[in-house]
Amino acid sequence: VRYSTTGTSSLENAQPVVVSTAYGEIALAHNGDIVNADALRAELQEKGWAFATSTDSEIIVRLLANELTVSGDMVKAIKNLTRILAGSYSLAILFAGKVFGLRDPHAIKPLVLGKLQNGYGIASETVVFDFLGGTALRDVAAGEVVVIDNKGYTSHGARSNAPKAHCMFEWVYFARPDAVLEGVLVYEVRKRLGEKLAEREQVEADIVVPVPDSGRAYALGYSETSGLQYVEGLIKNRFVERTFIMPEQKARELSVKLKLNPVRQLLCGKRVVLIDDSIVRGTTMREIVRLLRKGGAREVHVRIGSPPIVAPCYLGIDMKTRDQFIALERTWDEIAKILTADSVAYVPLETLVECIGKDARDLCLGCLTAEYPVEIKGEKFRGQQVLEYYIEEGR
């Protein structure tokens, strides 16, 4: 699956893209963001290439076809892609009756290898294999090419001493709570973050209320550690997605209000610790605080299970411009004021890293630190990552 980073989901972005080459048809699905897509497109157009769509997926598949023609070998062609593409890219390619998987050399976006009843497969999340009656085997490694055919799978691994750059936001928000990323259960990370938050950022209050569904695991951790009662004080409307007859302009204003309803009887007169995973712009959170107060909450203390977001993401999250971040160059008190909350607190960066359980150098923390694992024009680069050479597994 690809998280739509452009807000709307257009047919043009539908995956996979399919092209026919001298060697047969190639179908390609892509999760991630190619940072040098515009530069590559311009460069290729200068050579006379014409593109049918504006997607980076078309750039990838056309480059791949070109590399395939040069080398005559799909694994080599895929390896060569890693020297051309910059950014995050987990690829699934169908060609000549085989499935080829590639995870970018930083392993930014997840890609999982799993066993199915009659073979093997690759997917973005481990839970896909649960659903299909199979078993997730392991994460595809940074820069690794996996080839699946009737007989099984082979791995064409890259030797790299360089650090990885797993997107921390997968654990914080993107992945399902039951997904296991790099061996770490998402639910556990979130619950631990909630516990840490309770230890560090105590406040005198009556109840802990999660923003459903994203804040639930955090809030359970906070509740257990703080001893404050866990209350589902905001109810999510399961039918909102079906309100297709609503005029679009009003739909946006109403969306938060329609999605969440404060339960007056549970909130009335209470001092509430409101828990969510993260804040980007703050507009939704501000609206939720207002809803709680309207529902009778006496105090609202916002507790966030990750550090403040202060920089754009170019590698897979839809946050591209700086001016939108509520936490940028503001103190927690200033943020609380904007949110109309009684207080605001975040988790420190080192606590996030600790709860994920990885070395900070193996995570992409770009949106929290403004230092990025790949070179991005106008942004700080955190240092060279070297993909030394490819090795064949078992040779």
Output the smallest distance, CB 18 to its own copies, in A: 7
382 contributes a contact to its own copies by CB under 8 A: no
Among 51, 73, 331, 381, binds its own copies (CB under 8 A): 51
Among 7, 11, 47, 161, binds its own copies (CB under 8 A): 47
Q: Which residues contact residue 105 at a Cβ distance below 8 angstroms, ignoring those fewer than 6 apart? A: 82, 142, 143, 158, 160, 162, 385, 387
Query: ω into residue 362 within 30 of 0, thus cis?
Result: no
Among 21, 154, 155, 283, binds its own copies (CB under 8 A): 21
**Per-residue contact flags (x/-) with its own copies for residues 324 to 363, judged by CB under 8 A:** ----------------------------------------
249 contributes a contact to its own copies by CB under 8 A: no
Q: Which residues contact residue 387 at a Cβ distance below 8 angstroms, ignoring those fewer than 6 apart? A: 82, 83, 105, 143, 158, 160, 162
Cα–Cα distance measured from residue 366 to residue 364, given in angstroms and rounded to the nearest whole number: 6
220 contributes a contact to its own copies by CB under 8 A: yes
The span of 111-119, 155-163, 226-234, 345-353 binding its own copies (CB under 8 A) equals 226-234
Which of the 8 DSSP states describes residue 358?
S
| Cβ atoms within 10 Å, residue 328 | 13
Retrieve residue 217's tokens. Answer: 């695991």
Cα–Cα distance measured from residue 377 to residue 230, given in angstroms and rounded to the nearest whole number: 45
Among 188, 287, 371, 379, binds its own copies (CB under 8 A): 188
217 contributes a contact to its own copies by CB under 8 A: yes
C-beta of residue 367 within 8 angstroms of C-beta of residue 313: yes
In the chain, the amino acid numbered 129 is F
**Per-residue contact flags (x/-) with its own copies for residues 111 to 150, judged by CB under 8 A:** ----------------x--xx-x-----------------
Among 5, 155, 255, 261, binds its own copies (CB under 8 A): 261
65 contributes a contact to its own copies by CB under 8 A: yes
Nearest CB to its own copies, comparing residues 231 and 387: 231
Strand stretches in 224-292, DSSP E: 229-230, 234-236, 260-262, 271-276
Among 257, 281, 290, 293, binds its own copies (CB under 8 A): 257
52 contributes a contact to its own copies by CB under 8 A: yes
278: nearest Cα among 308, 323, 253: 308
Which of the 8 DSSP states describes residue 240?
G
In the chain, the amino acid numbered 320 is K
Among 94, 203, 246, 263, binds its own copies (CB under 8 A): 263
279 contributes a contact to its own copies by CB under 8 A: no
61 contributes a contact to its own copies by CB under 8 A: yes
The span of 8-16, 143-151, 198-206, 234-242 binding its own copies (CB under 8 A) equals 234-242
C-beta of residue 310 within 8 angstroms of C-beta of residue 368: yes
Cα–Cα distance measured from residue 213 to residue 321, given in angstroms and rounded to the nearest whole number: 26
Among 45, 138, 381, 383, binds its own copies (CB under 8 A): 45
Nearest CB to its own copies, comparing residues 164 and 216: 216
Nearest CB to its own copies, comparing residues 197 and 266: 266
DSSP-based three-state secondary structure for 184: strand
Burial of 213 by CB count in 10 Å (0-12 exposed, 13-18 middle, 19+ buried)?
exposed
Query: ω into residue 33 within 30 of 0, thus cis?
Result: no
Retrieve residue 84's tokens. Answer: 């051309």
Residues at the interface with its own copies (CB under 8 A): 17-22, 26, 42, 45-52, 54, 58, 61-62, 64-70, 127, 130-131, 133, 176-178, 180, 185, 187-188, 213, 216-217, 220, 224, 229-232, 235, 237-238, 254, 257-258, 261-263, 265-266
